[in-house]
Amino acid sequence: MNVKHGSLAAAWRAICCVALATVAATAILSPARTAAAAPVSLSSLSNADTSAGLKKALDQGINQAVSKLGVTDGFLKNPAVKIPLPPALAKGESVMRMMGLGAKADELEVAMNRAAEAAVPESKPILKQALRQMSLADAKQILTGGDDAATQYFKKTTYGSLESKFKPIIERATQKVQLAQRYDAVAAKGAEIGLLKPEDASLQSYVTQKTLDGLFVMMADEERAIRKDPLGQASSLLKKVFGAIH
């Protein structure tokens, strides 16, 4: 190698060493440029972001839960929320089928679940009103609470209103079934002598309670999904808020 070429090679090696050293120093001194930004903490979020992010998430959860349940077969074909025959009837179901009354039992089961499916869409305005009234203190408590903290908030603040809203819808749907009327007549007497729980004393009460149970089960499922994978959610604000508690 001649002197000229040797000098050029040496100069090139020096330039490369300086470049590598610069890259290494940059990575050490400014990790944010070479790696994903560190997640923010909940305490660093503004009150407005905290409240808005949570409410956006819960609004999404309400929409999803209602849309999944308030449709044909939303209850009937979902094992997690399907409403079975009331215990008093379920115990005698095998006898009913032996007596040729199986179709009547099936008709009642379908009617109960159809009633629930018809009632659930009426829950949306009530749930969203509770969401609008949620305080910042409520929001922060929900964010740092258990997997179903938001669902428990809605249960506490809307249960009575939802129950009142659902009952007449469910009554209209179930009273069209002959077996439902017979059940009410027998159940009322059973409740009087303590053989049935008060909530099972009428088909209307039984189906209403089961509809509410199913709604809150579905809302809890939606809430857990958001908490488990906040980065998989579409909203950047939602990711920011729920990501901060991971």
Q: Name the nearest CA neighbour of 241 among 35, 30, 60.
A: 60
What pLDDT band is residue 11 in, cutting at 50, 70 and 90?
very low
Asked if the model's pLDDT at residue 37 lies above 90, the reply is no
pLDDT at position 16 is: 37
What pLDDT band is residue 162 in, cutting at 50, 70 and 90?
very high
Read off the pLDDT of residues 194-243 as tens digits, 9 standing for 90 and up: 656 666 668 888 999 999 999 999 999 998 888 777 655 545 555 565 55
Q: Name the nearest CA neighbour of 58 among 165, 153, 166.
A: 153
What pLDDT band is residue 91 in, cutting at 50, 70 and 90?
low
Q: Name the nearest CA neighbour of 143 among 54, 238, 49, 43.
A: 54
pLDDT at position 186 is: 64
Distance CA 105, CA 96 (A): 8
Higher pLDDT, 172 or 73: 73
Asked if the model's pLDDT at residue 44 lies above 70, the reply is no
Read off the pLDDT of residues 60-90 as tens digits, 9 standing for 90 and up: 899 999 999 999 999 999 999 999 988 776 6
Percent residues over pLDDT 70 in the chain: 60
Asked if the model's pLDDT at residue 7 lies above 80, the reply is no
Distance CA 34, CA 27 (A): 6
- DSSP assignment letter at 85: P
Read off the pLDDT of residues 124-159 as tens digits, 9 standing for 90 and up: 999 999 999 999 899 888 888 888 999 999 999 999
Percent residues over pLDDT 90 in the chain: 37
Of 4-8, 98-102, 143-147, 214-218, the poorest mean pLDDT is in: 4-8
The terminus-to-terminus CA distance of the chain in angstroms comes to 60
Residue whose tokens read 């309670």: 209
Q: Name the nearest CA neighbour of 225 among 11, 68, 48, 9.
A: 68
pLDDT at position 13 is: 46
Mean pLDDT, the chain, rounded, equals 75
Please calculate the CA angle 69-70-75 and round it to the nearest 5 degrees: 45
pTM, entire model:
0.72
Q: Name the nearest CA neighbour of 219 among 66, 13, 72, 77.
A: 66
Kindly give, in sequence order, each residue whose CB lies less than 8 Å from that of residue 80, ignoring residues fewer than 6 positions away.
214, 217, 218, 221
Are 144 and 42 a contacting pair, CB within 8 Å? yes
Residue 99 neighbours by CB distance under 10 Å = 10
pLDDT at position 27 is: 31
Are 97 and 105 a contacting pair, CB within 8 Å? yes
